[in-house]
Structure 1
C-alpha cells in the first residue's frame, strides 16, 4: 500500500499521507516514494499548487519509534547512520524546498517531530483545532535530523524556535496561530475545503509568475539587496514578456471602459 495518495482538482494536487494506523509516522523508508511523487509533480508544468495533509487523526506523529529501537539494537556505525539520513529522509526537505509551486500544509491533527518539520517545509499552513506542533526530538534524546530547525526559525523566529527545540513541549493550534506558525485555524470538517479554496485562489494566477514569485521569496533571505534587485529585474522582464501579462492588462483596460 502506498504511503502517499495523490489526487488532482484542476491545477491543484493534494498529497495525503495515508498510514493512519501509525498516525502517519515517517522514516527513511518512506523517502523514496515521497520524493518520487514530489519530483513527478515538479515536472508537471500544469500544476500550480500543492496541498499536503494526513489521513486519520494525525498529520504525522513523527518518526517511527520501532525503527529507532531497531537501529539501537543493530548498533550501526555513526558513519552509516549519517549516510542513512543523507540518502533517506533528508531528501524530502530538499525536494519540497526545490518545488517551484506554492505548497500548503493542511494540518489535520498532531504534527510531532518530523511531522512539525514537514509542515514548516510548506509555504503556508492551515490547522484544525486538534492540531498540535512539537519539536519533540529532544524528548527521545535526538535532534531534528531532517533539517527542521532550518525551516522552523524562518517560520516563528529564533526565540520561539529555541523554546520548541529546547523543551520539546507541544503547542496547540491557538498558540501556533498566535506565533505565526499557521495562517488560520479551521474547523476539522472545513480544513481541507479551506486549503483547497486557498490553493484555487493561488492557481487562478499565471503558472510562470507563481513560480518566479516563489523563487524570489526563496532567494530573499540569502542575497544582498543589489543581487536581489538584479534577479527581480530579470524575472520581471520575463513576466512582462508573457502573454498572460498582456492579456491581464487588456482585460483591466476593457473593464475600465465599462
Structure 2
C-alpha cells in the first residue's frame, strides 16, 4: 500500500523496511513543504510497529539539488523567514529514531547534502556527486552541515568542501567515509534495501537504543547549529555577493564577487 504525503513524498513498505520516496524530479529541490511532508512520512514509519529501518530514495536525475533560490514563489528563495521554517522542519528529521539508509543516485547539493548526511548510511551510484556549494552562492552552509559533515568525514575534509564548494565524486566520497558503498545505478535501490534488511533483522529495541547512544545529542546540536547558520546566512543574504552568486549559479558561470 502506498501512502502520499503532500504532492512529492510517497511511502510504501517492504516487509520490515519502510521505503520513502522524494518525487519532485528532475532535481528534487527542497522547499518548506517538501521537508515538512518528508518529516511526516518518516515520523509515520517511526510510529509503525512494523518498520525497523527506512530507505530514503528519490526519483529523477538528482537525489536532491538543494534549494531553488531563483524561484519567486518559494518561501526559502524569498527570504530568511522561509529558511527558518525549513530548519524547523529539518529538525524533525534528526528526531526520527528508526535508522535511515539513503540511496543516492545523483547530485546531493547544499541542503540536499544536508539531507543525505542526516541519514545513518548512504549507498551511492557512480553518478552521485556531493557538494556543499554555499560559498559559490555567496552564502553560508546550512541544514546543520557545519556540525554533521565534520562529524562524519572529519574537520579537515569538511573544511575543504565548505571553502571550495567543489563536487566530490562517489568513489572519493567512499574513501572519505561520506558514503558507505558505491554500486552500479541499476543495483542502487537493491543495495540500499539489502543494508536496510540487514539492520531490520536485528532486535529492534537494541537497534534503537544503540542508535540513540551513538547519535546522542545530535538533535540538540543540529538545532543549535542551524540557529547559528541562520544568523550568518541572514547577514550574507543582504550582500551584493549573494545576489551575484545566485545569478552566477543560474547562468552556470563563476561568480564575479566583490566582497560586499
TM-score range, shorter chain: 0.7 to 0.9
* CA distance in structure 2 between the aligned counterparts of 1:65 and 1:118, rounded to whole angstroms: 17
* CA distance in structure 2 between the aligned counterparts of 1:96 and 1:17, rounded to whole angstroms: 14
* Equivalent residue number for residue 104 of structure 1: 101
When normalised by structure 2's length, the TM-score is 0.76
Whether 2:189 is the aligned partner of 1:192: answer yes
Deviation at 1:174, TM superposition (A): 0.9
Is the Cα–Cα contact under 8 Å of residues 62 and 114 in structure 1 kept in the other structure?
A: yes
**What are the equivalent positions in structure 2 for 1:204-219 lying under 5 Å apart?**
204-219=201-216
The superposition leaves residues 54-74 of structure 1 with CA deviations (integer Å, 9 ceiling, x where unpaired) of 102110111113337977996
SS of residue paired to 1:59: coil
* Equivalent residue number for residue 141 of structure 2: 144
Query: Please, which runs of 5 or more residues in structure 1 have no aligned partner?
Result: 223-258
Is the Cα–Cα contact under 8 Å of residues 93 and 121 in structure 1 kept in the other structure?
A: no
Deviation at 1:152, TM superposition (A): 0.6
Whether 2:82 is the aligned partner of 1:84: answer yes
* CA distance in structure 2 between the aligned counterparts of 1:70 and 1:9, rounded to whole angstroms: 34
Deviation at 1:128, TM superposition (A): 0.1
- The RMSD of aligned alpha carbons is 2.3
* Equivalent residue number for residue 11 of structure 1: 16
When normalised by structure 1's length, the TM-score is 0.77
> When the two structures are aligned, how many residues end up with a matched partner?
214
Whether 2:18 is the aligned partner of 1:20: answer no
Is the Cα–Cα contact under 8 Å of residues 75 and 83 in structure 2 kept in the other structure?
A: no
> Which one has the bigger helix percentage?
1
